[in-house]
Amino acid sequence: MSEDDVSIAFEDLALQPGEMLQAHSALEVIGEFLPVGFLGYLKNQTLIVTNPIAAGKVVAVKEGTPYNVKGFSGTQHFTFKSKVVKLHAQPYPHMHIEYPRQVLATRIRKDLRTVVNLPATLFNPISRKETPVNLRDLSAGGGQLVLPGPMGRKDTKYTLSFRVRVAEDIEEAVRTEVVVRALDSQLVKDVAVHTMGVQFLDLDKAARLLVMTLVYRQRLRKE
């Protein structure tokens, strides 16, 4: 455990049904973390999650299989170890896994950010005009947009929409109100590049989790 990690009770994460976790079989030396949906828990007994998904298909698992699990809750990245206790095929594949005795949580800085390249749409609620933009810099607090041309003024409010890939073929939509905090135009290799810095105003918990997952995942790939 690093000095940045703290041990907390699982229930202190306050996870809500429908949130996504990432699970990796501890039996596999090499293998990626796969998404599982959190369904609920029985305190000190089991967690209830969906089967892992890979390439859009349900992954078959065996009872007793140990798993390393990680995820995000608010501003915390957390990890714990568990194992499959019971499998169920109906009404859809899901499993009970051991209630974690220890959860290691690391508080993620709000300003942790990464470079991305996501198509997005900027909607002006007054003119009702939609403008395709590119989201280039992202954090839980906001991002930088590359614009097709100069537009907007500081403190103007828009609605920003974009999609975050949570698995190989699974994407989730993020839609949030933003306010313009910075505008800039520069010549890059003799080409005018127009950018807009925005702050998220109403990013709900589910969307925040998606954004922080993407940011943290991108940072891990570079480290």
- Measured CA to CA, the distance from residue 22 to residue 168 in angstroms comes to 13
166, 35 contact by CB (below 8 A): yes
Under the banding of pLDDT at 50, 70 and 90, the label for residue 1 is very low
Alpha-carbon span 38 to 94, nearest angstrom = 10
Q: Write the CB contacts of 189 (distance below 8 Å, at least 6 apart in sequence).
A: none
Choose the weakest-confidence range: 23-32, 91-100, 171-180.
Answer: 23-32
- pLDDT, residue 178, reads 94
- Integer Cα distance of 135 and 147 in angstroms: 9
pLDDT in tens, 181-204: 999 988 878 888 999 999 999 788
pLDDT (0 to 100) of residue 109: 57
CATH for the stretch 5-107: 2.30.110.10
> How confident is the model at residue 19, as a pLDDT?
82
Q: Is the domain covering 113-222 a CATH 2.40.10.220 domain?
A: yes
The torsion angles phi and psi of 193, rounded to 5 degrees, stand at -115, 125
Q: Write down the pLDDT at residue 99.
A: 97
pLDDT value at position 223? 46
User: How far is Cα 41 from Cα 95, in angstroms, rounded to an integer?
Assistant: 11
pLDDT at 170 over 90: no
Q: Using one digit for the tens of pLDDT, what is the confidence trace for 2-50?
A: 446 789 999 988 888 888 888 999 888 777 888 898 999 999 999 999 9
| Global pTM exceeds 0.75 | no
The string of pLDDT tens digits covering residues 114-157 is 888 899 999 999 999 999 999 998 888 889 999 999 998 999 99
Domain locations in the chain? 5-107, 113-222
pLDDT surpassing 70 at residue 102: yes
Burial class (CB in 10 A: 0-12, 13-18, 19+), 131: middle
Return the closest-CA partner of residue 164 out of 109, 200, 217: 217
